[in-house]
Amino acid sequence: MEMNEQDLQKKIKARDRRNNIIVAVLSVILVALGVLYFKQNREHQEIVRELNAEKDAIQNELNTLVVRYDSLETENDTINEQLFVAQTKVKDLLLEIEQTKKVSLEKINSYQKQVTTLREIMRDFVVQIDSLNRRNQELLAENLEVKEQFRRVETEKQQLSVEKERLEQNLQRAAVLQVREITVEALNRRDRETRFANRAERIRIYFIISENVTARRGTKNIYARIMRPDQLLMSKSADNLFQFEDLRIQYSAMREVVYEGHDLPVAIFWDNTNEPELMTGEYTVDLFADGHNIGTTTFELR
């Protein structure tokens, strides 16, 4: 019986020793597991912090892209449509990231790829817009140069027009017939000069058309208007008219001549036969040709 109790005591001790060993082993394992858990948890938290930091960096870059997209300006409708699409993608991605509570390495990699693509698209837009802006500046400069050239041409054209008009006016003035040595005589019935009104039968107007190389050659009508001392025109008929400026006016006498550009003596006569007796006083004689007044003189009868 004692033997059995000793054996039992030995068995109990052996069991207790085994249990202690198991507890010790389990304690070591538990401690190791605890250390491993805390280490892994710390590493997980570090990874989460890094992922969140990467997420924040991506958000900051997207915000920068939004600002840069907003700053891009162009008048090209096609590029503006493409810009709108790209801006929408940036804002949509930014909203998606802001609403994401849990991030993973897979999501971060996806976001980074999308940001890289959007950044490259942004660079392409910058290059296109810079190129368009440079071209627009070149076209603007060319347009300004063309406008300046057009303005110079118009100015030169106006100057030439003014010069042409001035030359034409000078030629017109130069082409007007000039007369000299105008003399007016009253002739009696014997064709001798008289100064008495009651003896005058005819009036002779004599002058020389001066040489003029610019005047039109050919047949010309020379008109004389004789104004009496009472300022009434001496005329044979109300139908004796000629063109002067914008009017048709009466003439007293007319002579057709052939002018060849050289000095040409001309005499025009007023026949007072069957007309009222000439009155005393000062008479005025005006000569006209080609619509111009080419000479004026006076004479007096007693």
Cβ–Cβ < 8 Å for 250, 240: yes
The mean pLDDT value of the chain amounts to 83
Question: Between 2-71 and 77-99, two packed helices, what is the crossing angle to 10 degrees?
Answer: 160
209-256 pLDDT, tens per residue? 888 877 888 899 999 999 999 999 999 899 999 988 888 999 999 999
pLDDT over 60 (residue 171)? no
What's the rounded Cα separation, in Å, for the pair 140 and 283? 73
| Adjacent-strand bridge partners of 206 | 183, 267
Task: Please tell me the pTM assigned to this model.
Answer: 0.48
pLDDT tens-digit series, residues 252-295:
999 999 998 889 999 999 999 888 899 999 999 999 998 889 89
Question: What are the Cα distances from residue 268, in Å, to 87, 164, 254, 285?
Answer: 98, 37, 7, 11
pLDDT score, position 174: 60
The DSSP line for 76-126 is -HHHHHHHHHHHHHHHHHHHHHHH-SS--HHHHHHHHHHHHHHHHHHHHHH
Residue 75 DSSP code? S
